[in-house]
Structure 1
């Protein structure tokens, strides 16, 4: 059945650096659906029947369809009896528009974090969340990257070692001197409460913080700070990363070559595997989009030549 082919496919792609956690889950779910129909090959009709049962939103359907299309291409190269579903099936996506925080809103957010309710089991709570969200806002780290930091990932001269995140890529992230100073103050407070844990942001049990706990706390902080209460979709932690990228691009010069170099440097700093992934951050600054995208592509083309 398809499940053994999926395991082989996932193992092969992981050797190339892909994580494919969600893709593996989606593909195995489809394999179970196909097995119930006694099918050992990918059929477009089966895909059409499975998608509405597997996901309700257009975004979720698009993610599952994308995983299936790539897998189907892989399988058809070995066996032409596999069908490749057309890419336009339920393909509409509604990627959330990023919320760009103002400098005042970030200040209010960190102030609210510093005034969280005191919890006896977690005396480090206030300082931890101020440092966590401040670090993301000032470096553009992904929340998963920040939560995965350990003490030995803080290198000399104010540099963070981000280990094997998306596509198992590692990178070095320099910090501003003011961020490093704040981090040193946090580490001094942390030494009194974190026990033997080597996580930079430990949980009450001195383990890695759960993302669900962090997201819940962030929503509490947003309410306390009074940030965008009128929005149906509340700002996210990930929007701090969007804000960082947008502010960096806004500060680059107007000359085309200068803009392109800033853009390519930002793409590397953020850990994007392709410069095309960085284009998304330009949505918040549409007046810069055309020039920066064109200039960056030109520069990348010149460097590749």
Structure 2
């Protein structure tokens, strides 16, 4: 049974110090009212915890107190249910801000919360779809031979064929694509440039669009170098690209949960399933750290477990 915190009123010294920090945030920093309300609630719980431990002065708070308070948040008490990692981390933000303020004001010589790390939320596995579903999606994007259909097919082929972010795809200029060499130049976060293979299907779709689709849009515009254009001849927006994806997903009967990023996730997952090295996938995705890319390996391991559970006679 979870422990019950004694019903002890918060130490007046801790409470006064907390009130001073909240006033500072309100008057001098102009923090939003909802944020102040959350911080006030978090610090009230912190003050009650300290009072129950017999801590009556901010100067008596140690790193062990802060760590134990965080553990209490995660485990819960009879008065409070356990908090999720994200909620506990938000509460710790208030506690750390409070102590940092006291140090800056000269009320404390050291910060007992500075070395306490917030809990890490569980990694969210990227959502990928099967190769068969990708093919259905791409087919649904190219119904007919209109300029819009050619553009939509080319856009989705580029997203899946290169693993590009949606902002990178709609940011493409004509000079960034070399269909003969089968490569595309993408500009990622921080304008970091990378050269990515285009793939034959994407190259064919882009080639068809540039010849038979883009000129129809371009004559209505003002000479933009953008690859993907809207009906007015301007660069296609991210919102319009999302609409293209949603419409294709609905026509393919894949539901409304898909986004352009789904194709990026599928690109990475299918490469790893096919035996690609994780560091090669890192370069293709434009990740600064391989740690970011490694989350996709969890997806493939999960898939292996599912196949094993369904197929091996000794799995169950």
TM class, shorter-chain normalised?
Answer: 0.5 to 0.7
Of 112, 115, 138 in structure 1, the residue corresponding to residue 161 of structure 2 is 138
Give me the whole-angstrom Cα distance separating, in 2, the residues matched to 1:199 and 1:88. Answer: 43
1:276 aligns to 2:276 (yes or no): no
Equivalent pair of 1:282/1:288 in contact (CA under 8 Å): no
Give me the whole-angstrom Cα distance separating, in 1, the residues matched to 2:303 and 2:123. Answer: 22
- Per-residue displacement from partner, 1:25-82 (whole Å, max 9, x unpaired)? xxxxxxxx965333599xxx95952899xxxxx899799899x89xx8xx99x96869
Could you tell me which residue of structure 2 aligns to residue 193 of structure 1? 217
Could you tell me which residue of structure 1 aligns to residue 182 of structure 2? 158
Give me the whole-angstrom Cα distance separating, in 1, the residues matched to 2:246 and 2:296. Answer: 23
Could you tell me which residue of structure 2 aligns to residue 222 of structure 1? 249
Equivalent pair of 2:86/2:121 in contact (CA under 8 Å): no
Give me the whole-angstrom Cα distance separating, in 1, the residues matched to 2:90 and 2:241. Answer: 27
1:264 aligns to 2:264 (yes or no): no
Equivalent pair of 2:245/2:258 in contact (CA under 8 Å): no
SS at match of 1:285: helix
The Cα of 1:204 is off from its aligned counterpart by 2.0
Residues 147 and 288 (structure 1 numbering): CA distance in 2 closer, same or farther, change over 3 Å? same
Structure 1: any 5+ residue segments left out of the alignment? 1-32, 53-57, 253-258, 290-305
Could you tell me which residue of structure 2 aligns to residue 55 of structure 1? none
Highest CA radius of gyration, 1 or 2? 2
Of 96, 100, 104 in structure 1, the residue corresponding to residue 132 of structure 2 is 104
Q: TM-score normalized by structure 1?
A: 0.60
Equivalent pair of 2:142/2:153 in contact (CA under 8 Å): yes
Structure 2: any 5+ residue segments left out of the alignment? 1-22, 43-83, 305-316
- Please list, as runs of the form range in 1=range in 2, the aligned pairs for 1:1-305 lying within 5 A after superposition: 36-39=26-29, 48-49=38-39, 87-88=117-118, 92=121, 95=124, 97-115=125-143, 124-155=147-178, 157-163=181-187, 165-189=188-212, 190-195=214-219, 196-227=223-254, 229=255, 234-252=257-275, 262-286=277-301
Give RMSD over aligned pairs.
4.2
Residues 146 and 39 (structure 1 numbering): CA distance in 2 closer, same or farther, change over 3 Å? closer
The Cα of 1:202 is off from its aligned counterpart by 1.1
Q: TM-score normalized by structure 2?
A: 0.58
SS at match of 2:217: coil
Aligned pair count?
A: 226
SS at match of 2:185: strand
